[in-house]
Structure 1
């Protein structure tokens, strides 16, 4: 019996300089799509993602959070890796995205041509950068009830996502998040400030809504050719609403609900393949899968330089375990 394969695409916060570099150098399909999408980027904005992302002066350890570059870079890397998998004969039964990772899932699902989605990505980054004040996002490793119970956190931030029962993210102004950070530090609670410059999934990005929704008004989306699981809704979508590409970064992320929907739909026997740059969703999926489930998450890209090795392991795993593949 074949297992069910899910491609997962993450959003902002886990990106870094040099992400996908080994694949870019060693895998012709990955390189082909990166160059193709970079050409689109240059035509629209006049800037090159590849020149910035793979510049030898920019190390993995340096902060990479300029939305005009991180947005398209994240999309490009995820989409290019998905094409590597597809051209290797590995086809997903479902695609799942979180936040702006839903651009990549929609592209793979054939909702709209990839060049058009690239434009949607760039325009959204430009709208947020032009209209919104900067902010931030803070991941808190604690029971998410803390958000409701602690007045300092509740009154000075907005809940962006609950990724699993002891991991949630809040968005807010940086001065407010610094106050929360001080409390967490004094309380011995583990936290991480995400590598973003804006408060996604909160009212802080509302000033960009009008212009971007106006831009989306005349867009037409095909029905997904691959079932698309949206973390903006926590459900499987058969048709995307016109405002979908705004909702994915404005609504709270419902990742646990999306995983539960898949586990219920397919009987707890899935492989979750994280095609994001940091393996974040593979970790989140692991924490949301029931202990008795036969489902397993895998990742390819990491900041630690094992992309090629991980890719080869995934190919063998797919072949050996008879996942839905044409290999």
Structure 2
């Protein structure tokens, strides 16, 4: 996604929506909203019908299947890509119904594509079609791999694991929180080394090495698929910050779609580049409120408002968001 110079005036408090991607999903995410929030529920079902027409499967049946819980691996790429889109877009609709609307959006990885729909720049069906085709392309072409969140300093990790070119640093979120991406063999080697030296880490529910050279096998297909998402924004109208470029986006093309999946994630740096970022309110639409947690650790001066959590506190959190932002109930 092509970036433009900073054009947002400084010194004004803004509402910033945070939209995340793969690795944040889990079975039953936002279940309380599906049960209790009419706008969220109707949007989820509308999206599910559209997706079923395209791929022949129900995302809701997958996400909320009986017997599956937070601790189970939620890794079906098509279902989770669509599920993340469904949940974050439906939450944005629910907040909009309460008068909470974003001045700016920050997309991280898959969240960039979701942000384009939330901002109303492209029809929801175009984004949904793209995600269906993208998921199929990944499963057909990319080799098995994965991603691991590491809770340690980079220097310590390099001393313990001695990574070579087969391990990519996909994202650096703070001094002691980053994500690696690699094939199965390299991840196994890294795990063994970290376990031996008591380096805290957690596997993400991702079966492919996104944000690494492994994506290159899809280059031509990604550029072709990205044409579905083509968008050119007039100068001065963008509201979406890319966590790839740390800048406002002005164009979506096949090549920029490829770069979103291939390049490193620079989420913390992106937020810090927003003019007067300390004065804004950051509403996290991602499952697990993982982006708010990153900001609390990396930029503790920011005010974050999480919504979705594994503890089913969504209704309480939405009330807090509405109260904090002065919107109508």
Determine if the TM-score, normalized by the shorter chain, exceeds 0.5.
Answer: yes
The equivalent residue for 2:87 is: 77
The equivalent residue for 1:276 is: 286
The equivalent residue for 1:248 is: 260
1:95 aligns with 2:105: yes
Contact 1:10 1:100 in 2 (8 A): yes
3-state DSSP of counterpart to 1:153? coil
Aligned to 1:311, which of 312, 315, 318? 318
3-state DSSP of counterpart to 2:171? strand
Contact 1:270 1:296 in 2 (8 A): yes
The equivalent residue for 2:188 is: 178
Per mean C-alpha deviation after superposition, the further-off stretch among 208-217 and 158-167 is 208-217
1:14 aligns with 2:24: yes
Contact 2:122 2:229 in 1 (8 A): no
Once residues 284 and 74 of structure 1 are traced to their aligned partners in structure 2, the CA distance between those partners, rounded to angstroms, is: 18
The equivalent residue for 1:229 is: 241
- Mapping 1:22-171, distance limit 5 Å: 22-146=32-156, 152-171=162-181
Aligned to 1:297, which of 295, 304, 316? 304
Once residues 43 and 131 of structure 1 are traced to their aligned partners in structure 2, the CA distance between those partners, rounded to angstroms, is: 24
Q: Under a length normalisation based on structure 2, what TM-score does the superposition of the two structures give?
A: 0.90
Shift of 1:101: 1.3
Write the deviation string for residues 50-97 of structure 1: whole angstroms up to 9, x where unpaired: 111112232222111010211101111011001111111111110011
Contact 2:32 2:314 in 1 (8 A): yes
Shift of 1:158: 0.9
Once residues 226 and 148 of structure 2 are traced to their aligned partners in structure 1, the CA distance between those partners, rounded to angstroms, is: 29
How big is the alpha-carbon RMSD for the aligned residues of Structure 1 and Structure 2? 2.0
Aligned to 2:214, which of 204, 211, 220? 204
Per mean C-alpha deviation after superposition, the further-off stretch among 225-234 and 176-185 is 225-234
Shift of 1:249: 1.5
3-state DSSP of counterpart to 1:139? strand
Q: Under a length normalisation based on structure 1, what TM-score does the superposition of the two structures give?
A: 0.91
Per mean C-alpha deviation after superposition, the further-off stretch among 249-258 and 236-245 is 236-245
3-state DSSP of counterpart to 1:90? coil
Shift of 1:151: 6.2
Once residues 308 and 226 of structure 1 are traced to their aligned partners in structure 2, the CA distance between those partners, rounded to angstroms, is: 31
Alignment CA distance shift 1:95-1:218 (3 Å)? closer
Contact 2:238 2:249 in 1 (8 A): no
Once residues 101 and 219 of structure 1 are traced to their aligned partners in structure 2, the CA distance between those partners, rounded to angstroms, is: 14
Alignment CA distance shift 1:110-1:145 (3 Å)? farther
Write the deviation string for residues 258-292 of structure 1: whole angstroms up to 9, x where unpaired: 01111xx1252011111001111001112232x5x
Once residues 116 and 218 of structure 1 are traced to their aligned partners in structure 2, the CA distance between those partners, rounded to angstroms, is: 7
Contact 2:107 2:241 in 1 (8 A): yes
Alignment CA distance shift 1:5-1:174 (3 Å)? same
Contact 1:3 1:269 in 2 (8 A): yes
Residue segments in structure 2 that go unaligned for 5+ positions in a row: 1-10
Contact 1:95 1:226 in 2 (8 A): no
